[in-house]
Amino acid sequence: MNVAPCSNVSRMSWLLPLLAVVGVAAMAVGGSGLASGLGTTIYQKNSLYHRIFVSRSGSIVSLQFGSRAPDLIQSQVDVSNLRRQLHEYTVMTFAGLLYVPEPRRLLVMGLGGGVIPREMGHYYPEMEIDIAEIDPEVPHVAERFFGFHPTEKMRIHVVDGRVFIRRTRRQDPERKYDLIVLDAFNSDYIPFHLTTREFLEEVKAVLTDSGVVVANVFYTNRLFDAELATFLDVFPWCQVYFGRRSGNAILVAPASDKVSELTVEEAVERAEARQREREFTFDFARLVPPRLRPGTRPGARARVLTDDRAPVNVLRSQER
């Protein structure tokens, strides 16, 4: 699904029903057993929002939306060892814990295979987790193939992430989150309305004063500079963790100046403390803090993304 670069949120009100009609017309296809670069395709379906592919090679199960290129993977797990982290960005998402050591509430936008909420819930079993996922088919896929299972403290809401935040503010204005993870993007599709200044202002409104938002983005194109400029326009500061084995970057920004920026040395010290407290099965201090680049700023040409100007498809096609 492509979104016109200069569309605005109000247009989505008439666009989504049309997309739903198109999606219903697309027929589901069962597992074909076709070979791919990721093993055997065991499930595929046209949902309301994605063309979903699930492949398996041994104990490794992979999820793809749209493209079947081997390097374009939405989520991946080792079903024989769910604690094994196969993707750099899922570990990097834990960077939020360097700023918020004891989160009580987490909101994740975008489920995929459920790796991020599942792992956060494993290491922080006392934490309440809400997941906003727009595609009703994705939770079924995550539960069936990726070892993801909701609990009393982990709830899935089948709704657009921005709609979920607005609904929360209206129905339960006292509900705030210590961590918000934005992971509703993939290399084929970036929902523009989840990148804008207006959206980030809504995100900020449901963070606690000591809370942070963590966003998984791609840093190889000019959209990264626009996203970083937009975060810096809304939040007191924004720090960036750059992937080394991927084009992913993690943005971390606080609701208020009660939360301080970190040096790499401070990040290492905090990661070691979290490691002792929560007994992560991966080396938090080695894998996350060294990817921090304090003082990262957007390019000079970067412009803030807004609801009436968010050319995400144009910008992501242009190299930095």
Q: Of 62, 60, 58, which is closest to residue 70 (Cα–Cα)?
A: 62
What the block records as the tokens of 26 is: 């697309």
Residues 74, 129 share a domain: no
How many domains in the chain?
Answer: 2
- Identify the domain boundary among 24, 51, 78: 78
Question: What is the reported pTM?
Answer: 0.87
- Identify the domain boundary among 24, 47, 78: 78
Give the C-alpha distances (Å, rounded to integers) separating 73 from 53, 64, 168, 216. Answer: 10, 5, 31, 14
Residues 303, 161 share a domain: yes
- Does 260 reside within a domain? yes
Per residue in 67-84, pLDDT tens?
777 678 899 999 999 999
Dist. CA 58–CA 89, nearest whole Å: 23
Residues 74, 96 share a domain: no
Residues 96, 71 share a domain: no
Residues 252, 276 share a domain: yes
CB 243, CB 92: distance < 8 Å: yes
- Does 4 reside within a domain? no
Greater pLDDT, 3 or 296: 296
Residue 183: active-site member: yes
Catalytic residue among 160, 178, 183, 225: 183
- Does 119 reside within a domain? yes
Residues 157, 53 share a domain: no
CB 212, CB 236: distance < 8 Å: no
Per residue in 267-293, pLDDT tens?
999 999 999 999 999 999 999 999 999
Residues 149, 237 share a domain: yes
- Identify the domain boundary among 45, 78, 111: 78
Alpha-carbon torsion angle 275, 276, 279, 280, nearest 10: 10
Q: Report pLDDT for 54.
A: 96
Dist. CA 214–CA 249, nearest whole Å: 10
Residues 148, 31 share a domain: no
CA dihedral over 72, 75, 78, 83, signed as positive or negative:
positive
Give the C-alpha distances (Å, rounded to integers) separating 208 from 177, 189, 277. Answer: 6, 30, 23
Q: Report pLDDT for 20.
A: 37
CB 199, CB 161: distance < 8 Å: no
Residues 116, 51 share a domain: no
Give the C-alpha distances (Å, rounded to integers) separating 148 from 26, 75, 79, 155, 301. Answer: 26, 12, 10, 12, 42
State the pLDDT confidence band at 185, using cuts at 50, 70 and 90. Answer: confident
Residues 26, 123 share a domain: no
Per residue in 134-148, pLDDT tens?
999 999 999 999 999
Residues 301, 200 share a domain: yes
Residues 201, 234 share a domain: yes
Domain that holds residue 13: 9-78
Per residue in 208-249, pLDDT tens?
999 999 999 999 999 999 999 999 999 999 999 999 998 999
Give the CATH number for residue 163: 3.40.50.150
Dist. CA 277–CA 121, nearest whole Å: 15
